[in-house]
Amino acid sequence: MRLKDVFVRMLSERGIETISTNIERILESDDVIQMMAVWIANGKANVCRGHKGVAFDLNGNRIDAQAQAFVGSCEDAMLTREELLREAENEFFPYIVIDCSFYDRHIEKEKRKLLLQISQTLGVVRKFMWDEKLIVTALDCGIGVYYPSTAEFIKEKGIKDIILLDPFGEEVFEGQKAECYIIGGIVDKVGNKTGWTSKLGNMLKKDGIEFRSMRILLRGDIIGVPDRLNTIAEIILRVVLDGEDVESAIRRVQSRLVARWRLRKELPKLTVRIDVKERPFRVVRKSDFGKFDWLNIKREDFYEVCSELGYIVLDDEALEEIVKSAEWDERKGRFVIDV
């Protein structure tokens, strides 16, 4: 469930089946109904009587008609922020916390990347919930809701059920729900920050905060799991709010660059080793591309990674003919052709 589902339900209960707005930021959104709900939840608008701007049905389809209500400013509101949030409290909408305790230990380029990813995470949160569900701690960057520390936020809100997303987490995230998901505000461009999220966990323990530490895996490995803050947040929210399985959620947000990282690890498992006059070759079947429909790759990625690794790609029939003419060397674990 997303915030828009609560919003639509409340509109329907009030007999409203069409809604309009003239707010450009809402009209520019890919999900107009969700953005209307966010605008109201953020206290920037109400649902008002009458029509203004562009009209939509409650599925977000644009219609050529006068709407029954509009999202904007008015004195006699039909639906307010307070009413929407009161109803939303009855549903599951977790907090996403980005802990930036190590911000000052980043180089300038990493700091810029971190701020960009925090901003993009707000965009992700708005797809599902509203701004107040994004908490940024230890860094007052003007995005989301700021708290001096994650422990202070947790204690103030009385949160008991907490999951820390850590690539070295003790458990595997499979869709477990929690009141709060903590993501380390860490960008590693110089390769010296391995284990820093675990250090955040140690800091929470010292502050008396109990939590579950979980890692996100793709078919048993962290390689191929996007590590940008916004993509981690979107994986979590797609799984716990939309009901997607973890693998599907990863594939929805996985960049081709990250997918290629995983492809580089998987391809060696599929190669056929052939020695031609004592010169070793590793060959991949062209049809093996079809085995990676769980990665966000195109055929060109498949060929380029094979080339990078020095592998030869052959039609299945051609490889079978080569294998038929070769001898299997048990000691070397490969086919051998002496001619």
pLDDT in tens, 114-135: 999 999 999 999 999 999 999 9
What is the predicted pLDDT for the residue at 217?
98
Nearest-angstrom CA–CA distance, 139 and 148: 7
Q: Give the pLDDT confidence score for residue 276 in this predicted structure.
A: 81
| pLDDT at site 5 | 98
d(CA 82, CA 34): 17
Q: What per-residue confidence (pLDDT) applies to 35?
A: 98
Q: How confident is the model at residue 338 (pLDDT cuts 50, 70, 90)?
A: low
Rounded to whole angstroms, what are the CA distances from 39 to 90, 123, 173, 235? 20, 13, 31, 23
- Contact in structure between 1 and 241 (CB atoms under 8 Å): yes
Q: What is the pLDDT of residue 216?
A: 98
Percent of the chain predicted with pLDDT > 70: 99
DSSP classification of residue 221: B
pTM: 0.93
Amino acid at 166: D
* pLDDT at residue 327 greater than cutoff 80: no
pLDDT at 337: 76
Under the banding of pLDDT at 50, 70 and 90, the label for residue 330 is: confident
pLDDT of 208 over the 80 cut: yes
C-alpha distance from residue 310 to each of 55, 181, 237, 298, 321 (Å): 57, 42, 39, 19, 21
Give the model confidence (pLDDT) of 256-279 as tens digits. Answer: 999 999 999 999 999 998 888 778
Terminal alpha carbon distance of the chain: 65
Tokens of 46: 């109400």
Q: How confident is the model at residue 325 (pLDDT cuts 50, 70, 90)?
A: confident
At residue 241, does pLDDT exceed 70? yes
Number of neighbours of residue 164 by Cβ within 10 angstroms: 26
What angle do helix axes 32-41 and 3-13 make, rounded to 10 degrees?
90
63: tokens are: 């219609």
pLDDT higher than 60, residue 339: no
Pairwise CA distance, residues 250 & 211, whole Å? 23
Q: Give dist(CA 77, CA 86) in Å, integer.
A: 16
**β-sheet bridge partners, residue 336:** 275, 327
Among residues 315, 310, 292, the alpha carbon closest in space to that of 302 is found at: 292
Partners of 65 in beta bridges: none
* Domain 95-254 annotated CATH 3.40.50.150: no
Give residue-wise pLDDT tens across range 145-202. 999 999 999 999 999 999 999 999 999 999 999 999 999 999 987 778 889 999 999 9
Can you give the residue ranges of every domain in the chain? Answer: 3-88, 95-254, 266-337
pLDDT tens for each residue of 59-73: 999 999 999 999 999
- Alpha-carbon distance 188 to 66, whole Å? 52
Task: Strands of 22-143 (E only): list them.
Answer: 46-49, 54-57, 62-63, 69-72, 95-99, 134-137
**Residues across the chain:** 339
What's the angle, vertex CA 28, arms to CA 25 and CA 33, rounded to 5? 85
How much is the mean pLDDT over the chain?
95
pLDDT at residue 274, as a whole number: 87
Q: Count the alpha carbons within 13 Å of 338 in the hemisphere toward its beta carbon.
A: 3
What per-residue confidence (pLDDT) applies to 334? Answer: 72
- CB neighbours of residue 298 within 10 Å: 11
C-alpha 138/C-alpha 102 separation (Å) is 8
Residue 95: the pLDDT is 98
